[in-house]
Structure 1
Amino acid sequence: MDLRSVASLYESAESLGAPVASVHLDTTHDDRLRATRIEHRWRALREGLAEHGCDEATLTVLDKAVGGVPDLPGPQGESVFAADGRLLGVHTLAAPPSRDHASLLPVPDALALVIDLDHQLPHVVVAVDGYGADVDAFPVSAEQPDTRRTFHGTTLHVAGLLADGPVTGVTRRRREGAWADIADQVARDVLAAVREVGARMVVVTGDAGALESLRDRVSPAFSAPGDVPPDLVLITGGRPSAGDPAALAALRRSVDAALRDAATAHHRAALERFRGDLARHRAAEGVTATAGAFARGRATALLLAADRDHDPRLYASAADPRALATQAPALDGDPTAFAGQAGALLLRSAVAAGAEFSEIPTPHQVPDGAGALLR
């Protein structure tokens, strides 16, 4: 994925020059007691942040932001960032983070947010029946840091259930009428939606006859020479109404599964490329070599495993994202030097370098679950 989508988060934090509290939490609301459990888990993270010196104004801002979206069915998580009593960003994730965690560092720890974004593709969802069609186009972006909650990826499929919360960038085209009368216009709507968000996948659900008819109309355009065409995926289900939570949740599950399959294929391809480049001495593996590649300005892509429970620590400079070291003495003389988990600090260097990112799928045999492609 392109890390420019989260660059503004780091820029906002740098402009404040204050420690950044980064919170990543499972906020799935699957029963009546879940909100209480989320509150208890947030309190535990809050106490940890306070013990590490987080100021009360920043904690109060987080108190107001943390908690997820009760009306959002299915799995969800959130990444929340705050510093100096200000909210830098609050993002609903399409899937919970691998574990609840919070950190207080001179820079954001955005790895959980990036992992979630890396599982998304810009895509179009088409739901048809005998009475009409809905065409929804979904970009993938973390948006600008803002005090408003942002939603990206598949969480937007249930936007009709949300009491509030922006759906910036999402386009809905709705057509009503007998399929024979609207089929050509729906096909044009799909092609326009694909162009609008640069869709890599078109997911179609609904009436079987309409599905085949729509595929016949759009497939020739997808096979035309030029850009790589999006995948066309047919899924079971129907055209849900905004007032049917069960149908909307079922649609989300189906689209999530299609996106997971696509992300898995992409991650495996990136890992194979990494292994090939490693054999040609055009890649680095392990935290030490990867940090060195970014410090020397040679890295063009960062690969990280999502499971970083045993992540080694690195030393970094708050003033220079390229300054990374495995030992504190290497940064002697830098008054802004600090230590943190390798994943968060490597990601910060990758964002500053304009590098690409890909998750390393499990199981893997990459030392430290970290690597880089080299220029």
Structure 2
Amino acid sequence: MSKEKTKLQIESEKVEVLVNQTNTKIIELGGHSQHLYGALDLIQSLFDKIRNVPSDRQKEYEEIKQIRLTWKQQVDKIENDYETATKVHTGGGIAGAGLGVGVAMLGPTAAMGVATTFGVASTGTAISTLSGAAATNAALAWLGGGTLAAGGGGMAGGSALLALAGPIGWTLAGIAIIGSGLLMWKAKSDKERLENVFLLISKRDQTSYKEAIVELNERISRIINETQMLNAAMINIVTFGTDYNKMTEEQQYTLGSYVNLMNSSTQLLVNPIMGLQPKFSEEDFNRFKSRFYPCTDIRLYCEKNKDLIIYIANLLYKITTDETDRKLLAKSFKKNKEFIEKMKIDKNNIDLELFNVVDRILKFTYTYHKKS
């Protein structure tokens, strides 16, 4: 007879279902982004043939083109780095087991989905500017919950990923790994306290993913619509001729409106899905740290434990804890060998002080965002 599932197991499974649905939507978004990019590429070729375009319009058009080309370079980098990483970790084979939807075969469509969904890493650094391994790890963390290829890859990139992984990484690494550590607690009251904290995290994340799926659907709808508008624009442009000075005033005005359309369409490619950005960012971390002089103990402590602080701050964002909760959380993290190994962190850095500092940082962050 199978053992009845706990409330936490039930809620965690709901989160996992939503994560998979989110990943499916990211892949779907990638397919539509691919069509949009193709339409932008074609209309660009038509604009390139037009002579005597006013310098201000030409400059605007060139800037739009550069943004799009940079985005495509980012897509190519994610795809190529992933292919390299999987070969390294699997001895030439393509990893599949344990990865999120679409990760086993991270082709152009999936890579476009990642690039459009996340845009930049949580640090504010464009994925394309990260080193090969970091770029790949960021993409894998987002799509695969932080799990890299079979063959002992574990949590891709270890502690470096703590500050890079998006909320999918936070959820699976937090709930699945740390939540499993609840089994070691003998005192029922302690176990229930911790379980309640993780239940709150699970329910918060369910809400986040549901909202993200709505946002992804809205983005897909807009991309489909603007792709159709670009296709209609191309049919029109070919009737204008290739000399701007010989176009009618109405044609020139229409051409200008198409530049605006290209701009808005490009933004649909490069602007991230906000619901899938980390709840607590490196910018939030730096804002808190900057309040203290360079050599103060709190600033030095934050700098030493930056990645871990950002990770825990994301995990506990908008989750109310008291001193007892934080003591139990610190003990749970520290005793959980699987978490320590997968995250490649020093267990000596995990203590009550760490969780109290995170609580202080989060309270400051809530106040700041409420005022701003």
TM-score by structure 1 length? 0.29
TM-score by structure 2 length? 0.30
* Larger Cα-atom Rg: 2
Larger RCO (CA within 8 A; separation ≥ 6): 2
Higher percent of residues as helix: 2
